[in-house]
Structure 1
Amino acid sequence: MNLQQRIVLLNRLGEYILQDNDNWQATKQKASLQNSWFTPEFIELATRNIAHAFLKKELLTAWASQYAIQAENNSPKNIGIIMAGNIPLVGFHDFLCAFITGHRQTIKPSSKDDVLLRHLVEQLYQWDEATRPLIAFAEMLKNCDVYIATGSNNSARYFEYYFSKYPHIIRRNRTSVAVLTGEETPEELNKLADDVYQYFGLGCRNVTKLYVPEQYDFVPLLNAFRKYDHLSEFHKYKHNYDYILAVMLLNKQYYMSNESILLNENKELFSPISQLNYEYYSNAGQVYDSLKSNANVQCIVGRHHTGFGKAQQPSLTDYADGIDVMKFLLEL
């Protein structure tokens, strides 16, 4: 299977995702039943973003041309991929990189997200049998030449130990932040709500902390965030909200709320579900300098960085942890 054939198949897969096909709809429903954090709203968001930003023929062609990928991979490696399961199809980009470079891959999906990708790969099998030897699933990864693993800081230590003698990419916990000036328009604040609330804030590209100027007025922001008040009707999210609120009340902590999120002045980058941390600053330049060198930061949202509302809309070249997976795979 040559590069052009792979691109054509991926483009077809994108078209399939956007269709109202009964099998695809049933698969999305099954994924939602398996993991209740994967609501139909957020499964639809994730799959459509992939179709529009990753699986267009012109985008794939331009992306591949940046790396001068050979038409055929005459010495394919077996890439072992351990995927996370925090948001729907979060490991799709790793699958895509391995497939388009012509390598074989063995995937260990997360138990929280093993329905959607299996179904999409099955479609590739049906359309072209030549894909079958290129993509496999396994509960344990053995005899792979290379490993790409995504997990928590704790699991990363195990990955480092087990895969140390192989070429590898190991990803740990990351999160994203937003730096505000106080001059944001209502539209920008509305889009910032997407960066905070989408996928219940479980993604590494979700904003979990705000940096705001001294004397910042939070009222417009809290009002803009009301577009996601409906998440408080989701029982698991509401349980988190109620628990954190109870802890804050017991500890007599100051907080702000619009009934769907709790704002807490806190220096920590990571915040639990339904909580958004914030910190005041007096010098924006110093904030940016500290964030750029912070290994825990996936992306910075703001007027001069990732645009408001774009955090959960990565492009093909937005590599997790800033590691160019295509370059890594092509240099094996």
Structure 2
Amino acid sequence: MDLQQRINAFVELGKFLKQFSVEPFEKNSAVLHNDLFFDGFKHQLKLAHEHNAWFTKENLIYSIDGWSKSLTERNINQWIENYSFKEIKPNKVAIIMAGNIPLVGFHDFLSVLISGHDVVVKQSSNDKQLLPFLGKYLETVEPEFKGKITFTTGKLEKFDAVIATGSDNTARYFEYYFRYKPSIIRKNRNSLAVLSGNETEAELEGLSEDIFRYYGLGCRNVSKLLVPKDYDFEQFFKAMYKWHPIIHQNKYANNYDYNKAVYLMSEFAMLENGFLMIKEDSSYASPIATMFYEYYEDAAALKEKLAADSDKIQCVVSSGLFDTEIPFGQTQNPQLWDYADNVDTLAFLLKIS
């Protein structure tokens, strides 16, 4: 199977996913193998939500819409144009996936297969319904994928390299266990926003998407604000209000009530609006329904601090303050060439060939 065959298969997968990017789902007769897979994928979406209450239909559709837009021939070619795929020797690459947001490990899955390797996937129990089904779709579109895609619930065996995502604690285990294999080991990271106080209403509303999408469970969700001294949070809270229905999600509400009780009993100073608490804290990782904030006085010193903490940070959202900043509202819409932890997954995979 050559590179173009692999590209074509993922482009067809993008067309298949596009049918599920908005409600109501509409079957497109031009999509390959729809009679076999359309109704089945609808059922898998239902199962994904039933198995994991964080995976609401809205968030499942949001994730699928993003991948349907990424998996076009133009996007894939733009992504891979600067890499050399000559003389690829297929290896078996194991992927240990997280399960915090829907299809969170799909980029690694795509990268392994587009590079010409075989993949063996160990999924999180929180996100195990969708990807095996999409793997079957790929095998039907391009039969030469058969035998190259494996899912396992047991011990990983007979693999040549590994990509593993987990917490800081599990990363230490991964680093030891996979010490003799080429590997990418990902740890905890968080995203933050640097505000100047001059943000527009539209920018702050965009920030609300960065904060609340997927209930804040992703590493690309903003979990901390860096604000200038005497920052007025009134406009911030006003822009967050569009997300107030989130408190009606039971799991989110339980986290809100629990963390609020902890803060009150501990007599921590905080501000809250009925569905979000903000608390001054030096940490980057905040609990669900809580946003940490910290004041800064000097932009240059702040840049030095963030550079020193770069191994803890996934994204920085701001407007005109940083060279690698992400615009407000765009953290959950990465391009194919936006690699997690800034580690070039495709370069790693082509190097082990």
- With the shorter chain as reference, the TM-score category is over 0.9
Matches within 5 A, 1:1-332: 1-19=1-19, 20=25, 21-52=38-69, 54-70=70-86, 73=88, 75-139=89-153, 140-294=155-309, 295-304=311-320, 305-332=325-352
CA distance in 1, matches of 2:272, 2:315: 25
Residues 153-172 of structure 1: per-residue CA shift (max 9 Å, x gap): 11111111110001111001
Q: Is the 8 A contact 2:208 2:329 kept in 1?
A: yes
Q: What whole-Å deviation, never above 9, does each CA across 1:28-76 have from its counterpart, x for those lacking one?
A: 1111111111111111111111111x20111101212111223x73x10
Deviation for aligned residue 1:27: 1.2
Secondary structure at the aligned position of 1:79 is classed as strand
Paired with 2:119 and 2:106, the residues of 1 have a C-alpha distance of 12
Please provide the CA RMSD for this pair: 1.1
SS in structure 1 at match of 2:319: coil
Q: What SS does structure 1 have at the residue aligned with 2:293? A: strand
Question: Unpaired runs of 5+ in structure 1?
Answer: none
- Percent of residue pairs identical: 41
Partner of 1:306: helix, strand, or coil?
coil
Structure 2 gap segments, 5+ residues each: 20-24, 26-37
Report the 3-state secondary structure (helix = DSSP H, G, I; strand = E; otherwise coil) of the residue aligned with 1:46. Answer: helix
Q: How many residues in Structure 1 have an aligned counterpart in Structure 2?
A: 329
SS of the residue 1:326 aligns to: helix
Q: Which moved more, 1:18-27 or 1:139-148?
A: 18-27
Question: Contact (CA 8 Å) 2:12, 2:141: kept in 1 or not?
Answer: no
Deviation for aligned residue 1:112 = 0.6
Q: SS where residue 81 of structure 1 aligns?
A: strand
Contact kept? 1:17, 1:24, Cα under 8 Å: no
Amino acid at match of 1:105: V
Q: Which amino acid aligns with 2:108?
A: D
1:194-246 per-residue CA deviation (whole Å, 9 max, x = no partner) reads 11111111101111000001111101111111111111000010001011111
Counterpart Cα distance in 2 of 1:273 and 1:28: 24
Q: Using the alignment, how far apart are the partners of 1:252 and 1:77 within structure 2? A: 55
